[in-house]
Amino acid sequence: MKIKCPKCEKNAELSPDFSFVKCESCDFDMSYGEYVKFIAHNEKTYSDILGDYTGSTEGHTAGSLDEWD
């Protein structure tokens, strides 16, 4: 799935199983958990997008996302 790279704002790729995020434009490469923390720290508006993701990961990242509220 294509997502917006939090580092260079070009297209990054979120792996289908939500395990990692990778951007070929700037070599951004993090696990999804690290990515969530990275963007939560840098960009509050991303929380809306991630809210949608949470529904399909069945609690995989829900624990960390709950802390945002």
Question: Is residue 29 a contact residue for Zn ion (CB under 5 A)?
Answer: no
- How far apart CA 65 and CA 68 sit, in angstroms, is 6
Q: Smallest gap, in angstroms, from Cβ of residue 58 to Zn ion?
A: 28
> Cβ closer to Zn ion: 13 or 57?
13
Interior angle at CA 41, CA 26 and CA 64, nearest 5: 110
Question: Is residue 8 a contact residue for Zn ion (CB under 5 A)?
Answer: yes
Q: What would the DSSP string read from start to end of 42-58?
A: H-TTHHHHHHHHHHHHT
Q: How many residues of this chain interact with Zn ion, rule: CB under 5 A? A: 7
Question: Is residue 39 a contact residue for Zn ion (CB under 5 A)?
Answer: no
